[in-house]
Structure formats: structure tokens, C-alpha cells
Amino acid sequence: CALPCQQIIAVSRASRHAQPMNGFPFATVGFDLDGTLLDTLGDLAAAVNHALALMERAPLAEAAVRPMIGRGAKHMLEEGLLATGGAPDGAVERLYPELLRFYEAHIAVHSRPFPGVVAALDQLDMLGVRAAVVTNKAEHLARLLLAEFDLADRMATIIGGDTLGVRKPSPEPIHAMIERCGGGPAIFVGDSIYDVGAAKNAGVPSVAVSFGFLDRPVGELGADHVIDHYDELIPLLTTL
């Protein structure tokens, strides 16, 4: 099994004690962060280009950075270096702390919630459904970013790429999300193959957002459902 059997049993036991409210089919709705809850492309691209400038590399357009997002900042940096002439030995290790320092200092200059996000979270609150974030971004950065938009305190749990020592598409962050939220039926919303893979590996349904940082057509992600706007999320979930 993907998780130690004791953890799976604990999640199963918790599920019996957390029933959805008001007939809603899910007790927890989990979200990816970058490209799902928040449009962070401008700030992530700026951080990559800051690191590239230290190597005297030409900046990348935001459209070029978009498909590099999803597996964490180090992967994004590696991809940025490869796209601009290669990654010399030691370059990633040297530039990664510089990228993080710049990003943390400019974390919400251009970033914004996607349209309809706050209203969807309001609806989940009214239904008594827990919202959570599972991201491959470092947890402290995820919390800092969400706090900029008064969203951190609205999450029942926030799990980052460094929280458990494993990242999506591992199922462990999704299982941990369910356990921390008290169990019960869950669904996961994301914009990448890592999000869909994590949900599938954890045995929960997935929703892909077509407006995210896609590296392929949304229909090729293999998600169970697709939405084009957050106005569609709660009506979709109600029917499942």
C-alpha cells in the first residue's frame, strides 16, 4: 500500500466520524495553490528571472515559465536554467536560496485569487465543509502567500512540499489532509498532472481547473471533472 497500513486504517476510522453537512457529498475539499487558488505566475516568473539575471541570462517570458510550475521552486529554477543555456554544476544549489529570498520578499506583488475563489470558499463555509491546501510550495511560503489574501485562516490545514518530506503526486499529502481534517469523503482540485496523480494515488476524485498553469491540454490530465470558472465548482460537487 502507498501508506503504512496503520495510517490508512486511521484515515478509514476517522471517515466514519466525519459526515458531510447539509447533504453535501464531501466533508473536505482540498486545493492546490499555484495555478489553482491563486494566479501567482507574475511573481514566480519574476523570481526565476531574478535568479537567471545572477547568471547573466536573458529573462524568460511568463508564458515560458507557466509550464515549469507545479513541482516546487527548485524544479522551476532547474527548468529555467535549462531553457536559457543549461544548468552548470552547482548553479541550482547556489541560485536556489537567492530565488527563495527574492520570492519571499515579493510574494504578492502580482499574485491574485482566481475569479470566484472567495465566493466558492464562502459557500463551502456555509455548508460546513472544510477547505484545505496541499501544495508543492514550501509550507512557510504557502502560509505567507495565503495570509496576504486573508485565506490562510480559512484553511483547515495547509500542507506544503516540505511538510511531510514527500510531494505530490505521492498520495501521502492527500491522506494527511484527510486525516488532519477529521476524515470523511474528500475531493481534490488542481491544475497539474501532479495534482491529478496525487488524488488518484490517494483514491479520491479530482477536479482540474482549465485556467491553471497547464503544461498540456486540460483534457489530458486525466481528472474526473473539469471546471472553467469557480462559479462551477459548488454546483458540480453538489451533483457528485
The residues that bridge with 186 in the sheet, in sequence order, are 28
Catalytic residue among 32, 43, 191, 195: 32
Q: Would you tell me how many other CB atoms lie within 10 Å of the CB of residue 48? A: 30
The residues that bridge with 34 in the sheet, in sequence order, are 38
**Backbone angles phi and psi of 38, in degrees to 5:** -125, 140
Does residue 224 have an active-site annotation? no
Please identify which residue in the block is written with the cell numbers 483534457.
219
HSE, side-chain direction, 13 A CA sphere, residue 194? 28
Please report, for residues 130, 143, 154, the alpha-carbon distance to residue 157 in angstroms, rounded to integers and kept in the order given.
9, 10, 9
Contact 215, 34 (CB under 8 A): no
Angle at 39 between CA 35 and CA 45, to 5 degrees: 90
The residues that bridge with 28 in the sheet, in sequence order, are 130, 186
Helix (H) or strand (E) holding 195, with range, is: helix 193-202
Instruction: Please list the active-site residues.
Output: 32
